[in-house]
Amino acid sequence: MVTVPISQSIATIWFQIIHASRLLRERAVQRNVAAGFLVLLAAILLAPDGDSSGWDWLRLLLMGVLATLSILTMSASRHARIRLETRQARIVGASVLFMLALLVSLTFGLGSAAIFSLGFSLVTIQALNLPRDGSPWLLIGLLVLLIPFWVWTALGAWTGGLLLLLPIAALALIGDEHMRQASARAPEPGDPLSWRAHRLASWIAILLAAALTLLVALTTSIPDTWVAIGALGAIGFIALEIGYPRADDAPRDYSVLFADLAFVWIVFCWLVSL
């Protein structure tokens, strides 16, 4: 059995982390990482009753960087053409990065650390199972759902209004799936719904999400101005999807984009209203 010096092991792990960060050269990875940090910045800025200090910003952004590098390193460890030693080094590196992020999270409290751990696990599972040419919608949707819970808990700005994100996320899954079915070039065998019916179901899901936020705002003390703006914006995205010119009278990828943006806009306006 050959003993490897600790310094050499650390150097090997650090090298594998740097090598894994090359995944950032891929456009899909760049898009997902950019979306995650955009949501993180928005969650910090929109936190209610929160004049976040520079120390808070530093810790939250550091956790975001460490978590991102951990997921990238774990993803790189799943490459089929690497040696066992390399795979093990990358797994250890990903674990170390996560532990460092968790230690930083503990400076905000146990609640924040628990939510961060749960969110990190869910995002990592989704990222590892995301095909290279697959849609990142579920991953980005998870980020939009989970990051506000984590950030607002860390900043002591938790509010029950965040729980409304859960039914909105469920409606977003339904609406996105229906619009994807409508946008498919070949319908699934045995599908009882036409592409027009799928499209209508997606619109209904968007309108239900907007109506839900309006109903809660009107029956509570939550200001309804931004909620109304969110509802109007959602209707606007539906109008864009309807009116966007199409050559063969059938939805395409931009139809899914408009549907997804409608839900993101509803969530954004809801967070602003809180």
Q: Give pLDDT, residue 84.
A: 77
- Listed as ranges, residues in the chain with pLDDT below 70 are 1-10, 49-51, 80, 131-135, 185-190, 245-253
Q: Give pLDDT, residue 187.
A: 66
Residue pLDDT, tens place only, 87-103: 787 788 888 889 999 99
Structural contact between residues 36 and 68, judged by C-beta atoms closer than 8 angstroms = yes
Q: Give Cβ neighbours of residue 264 (< 8 Å, ≥ 6 apart).
A: 144
Q: Angle, to 10 degrees, between the axis of helix 84-106 and the axis of helix 110-128? A: 150
- 242, 34, 209, 170: CA torsion to nearest 10: 110
Structural contact between residues 263 and 175, judged by C-beta atoms closer than 8 angstroms = yes
Q: Give pLDDT, residue 207.
A: 93
Q: Give pLDDT, residue 190.
A: 66
Q: Give pLDDT, residue 234.
A: 93
Domain boundaries, the chain: 1-158, 159-274
With CA atoms as reference, report the closest residue to 263 among 172, 161, 173, 133: 172
Q: Which pTM does this prediction carry?
A: 0.84
Q: Please list, residue by residue across 179-207, b when 16 or more beta carbons sit within 10 angstroms of its beta carbon and e when fewer do.
A: bbbbbeeeeeeeeeeebeebbebbbebbb
